[in-house]
């Protein structure tokens, strides 16, 4: 009988994983969204494979110029493992996130069940995460939020195992996941709060093992801090004043978010709060605090808040999965909860079911709709990869960080090329293929009253042969092969702009 139940559970978990994978794999086009972040992840992963350390490199006139990768190493290390099997590519990186995103669905069910939910409630949690729109959309990118959410749930699986069985394997799993999660998404370091509570309060964990378990968490915390510090410094430098996280931005972010998004999260927190107080467990209180804390960090950052809410959402979801007040495991709850609280909880539970149905329908409506809105991050690297064949060539571009991971040839920044000038590029083109990648051709300021850009200068001075061109809205991107200096009497290369 036990074997039959286990087989059924595995079959359901497998089916949920396939559904989640189907929604993410076929429902949304693989694409990049972040201007610098995703190309940096890929370039750092390639550098780890080639040189054994994460570096960001550009071609200089005399040698390759490299700087240390300035962000947390968790995601590039994972991508390096993928690239070992598949070879480096944008698609391999994106599909790594897709697979991890699909696996979060059964993990949510395992955590909910371990916290005392019924089988139906656990299925509810997994089904929600399988079709949750923000999670599904970001699973089709190479960003870190979905992988971060995956490792949050892996850590929770270990912590539930500690609470239930006091197993050393649960401690090892939780500590390992908490080493990785903050190195992927720094805000997940808040998960150390419920982790410490789980070890201290677990009746199943022998006292003599608690010191060892806490020591393991201390090591994981030290690793996490070492991973978070570079990210903190980078964001502080970008912000300029060092205050890239501001609580004052929370209200701004809430106003910027669609009402259904912040309304859904408010409902999620309300349900989880009722469950936490109904259970009267220090661990559930700690888990709720960690989840809400991650949501607040996401709102305080005030950039792409939908993705920054994902780790907090999956932390709270196992609690919200209970349709509160209707748990089939009554021994898990206090008997003296007032009837009014149970009625409120039941109402919130049914409202939660209605919200989940609405979210699922919205997710299904998004399927098949292209999410590629960033031509610079997605389409242009693919065109460069297809156009530049020789590793001995040179690519000159104003966006080296975006193209370095995609180009088979070294990439030089336009600012570096300007130092040598058009004459030096033309001389180099006699011995090797030199490609020039430029954007913003059709803007009014191009070579006009607002002052010539570096792009305009090279187009004026070099004889260029168009190789490929792409556009999005009114913005043009082109790849040209450098043939030499442009004679004065020869017309400039056509940029394909209206009226040209």
In Å, how far are 87, 178, 179 from 172, measured between CA atoms? Answer: 31, 10, 11
Q: Which range, of 85-89, 227-231, 248-252, 472-476, averages the lowest pLDDT?
A: 472-476
3-class SS of residue 429: coil
Looking at residue 428, its pLDDT comes to 87
Question: Tell me, what's the pLDDT at 356?
Answer: 58
CB within 8 Å of 427: residues ≥ 6 apart: none
CA distance 394 to 128: 48
Find how far residue 294's CA is from the centre of its chain.
14
Give one DSSP letter per residue of 350-374, joined into a string. Answer: HHHHHHHHHHHHHHHHHTT------
Rounded average pLDDT over 297-317: 79
Question: pTM of the prediction?
Answer: 0.83
The token pair at 55 is 């570096």
Question: What is the DSSP track for 199-264?
Answer: HHH-SSS-HHHHHHHHHHHHHHHHHHHHHHHHHHHHHHHHHSSS----THHHHHHHHHS-HHHHHH
46, 49, 77 from 52: Cα distances, Å: 9, 6, 11
**Confidence at 498, pLDDT banded by 50, 70, 90:** very low
Q: Which residue has the higher pLDDT, 397 or 493?
A: 397
Q: Which residues contact 470 (CB under 8 A, 6 or more apart)?
A: 375, 379, 380, 383, 476, 477, 478
Q: What does the mean pLDDT of the chain come to?
A: 78
The residue-averaged pLDDT of 445-460 equals: 52
Q: What is the pLDDT of residues 118-146, one digit of tens each?
A: 887 888 888 888 888 888 888 988 899 99
CB 151 within 8 A of CB 174: no
pLDDT band at 453 (very low <50, low <70, confident <90, very high): low
The string of pLDDT tens digits covering residues 276-287 is 887 778 899 999
- Does residue 375 have a pLDDT over 70? no
DSSP code of residue 58 = E
- pLDDT of 250 reads 74
Is the pLDDT score of 174 beyond 90? yes
The pLDDT assigned to 373 comes to 44
């Amino acid at each position: 009988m036990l074997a039959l139940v286990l087989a059924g559970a595995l079959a359901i978990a497998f089916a949920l994983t396939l559904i989640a994978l189907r929604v993410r794999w076929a429902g949304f086009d693989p694409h990049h969204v972040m201007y610098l972040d995703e190309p940096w992840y890929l370039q750092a992963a390639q550098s780890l494979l080639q040189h054994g350390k994460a570096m960001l490199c550009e071609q200089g006139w005399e040698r390759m110029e490299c700087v240390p990768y300035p962000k947390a190493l968790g995601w590039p290390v994972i991508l390096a493992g993928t690239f070992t099997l598949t070879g480096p590519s944008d698609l391999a990186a994106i599909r790594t996130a897709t697979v991890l995103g699909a696996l979060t669905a059964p993990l949510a069910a395992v955590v909910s069940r371990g916290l005392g939910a019924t089988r139906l409630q656990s299925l509810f949690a997994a089904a929600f995460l399988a079709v949750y729109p923000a999670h599904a959309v970001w699973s089709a990118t190479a960003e870190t939020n979905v992988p971060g959410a995956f490792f949050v749930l892996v850590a929770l699986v270990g912590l539930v195992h500690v609470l239930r069985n006091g197993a050393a394997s649960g401690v090892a799993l939780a500590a390992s996941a908490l080493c990785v999660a903050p190195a992927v998404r720094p805000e997940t370091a808040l998960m150390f709060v419920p982790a410490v509570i789980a070890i201290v309060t677990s009746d199943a964990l022998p006292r003599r093992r608690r010191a060892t378990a806490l020591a393991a968490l201390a090591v994981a915390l030290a690793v996490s801090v070492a991973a978070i510090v570079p990210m903190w410094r980078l964001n502080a430098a970008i912000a300029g004043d060092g205050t890239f996280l501001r609580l004052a931005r929370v209200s701004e972010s809430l106003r910027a978010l669609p009402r259904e998004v912040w309304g859904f999260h408010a409902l999620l927190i309300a349900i989880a709060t009722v469950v936490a107080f109904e259970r009267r467990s220090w661990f559930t209180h700690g888990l709720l605090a960690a989840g809400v804390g991650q949501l607040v960090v996401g709102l305080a950052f005030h950039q792409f808040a939908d993705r920054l809410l994902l780790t907090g959402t999956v932390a709270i979801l196992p609690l919200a999965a209970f349709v509160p007040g209707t748990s089939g495991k009554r021994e898990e709850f206090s008997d003296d909860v007032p009837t009014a609280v149970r009625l409120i909880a039941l109402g919130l539970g049914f409202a939660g079911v209605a919200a989940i149905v609405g979210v699922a329908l919205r997710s299904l409506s998004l399927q098949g709709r292209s999410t590629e809105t960033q031509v610079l991050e997605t389409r242009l690297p693919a065109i460069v990869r297809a156009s530049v064949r020789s590793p001995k060539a040179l690519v000159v571009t104003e966006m080296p960080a975006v193209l370095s991971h995609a180009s088979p040839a070294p990439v030089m920044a336009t600012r570096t090329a300007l130092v040598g000038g058009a004459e030096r590029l033309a001389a180099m083109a006699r011995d090797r293929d030199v490609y020039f990648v430029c954007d913003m051709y059709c803007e009014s300021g191009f070579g006009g009253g607002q002052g010539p850009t570096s792009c305009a200068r090279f187009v004026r001075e070099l004889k260029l042969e168009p190789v490929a061109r792409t556009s999005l809205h009114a913005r043009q991107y082109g790849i040209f092969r450098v043939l030499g200096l442009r004679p004065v009497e020869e017309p400039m290369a056509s940029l394909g702009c209206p009226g040209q």
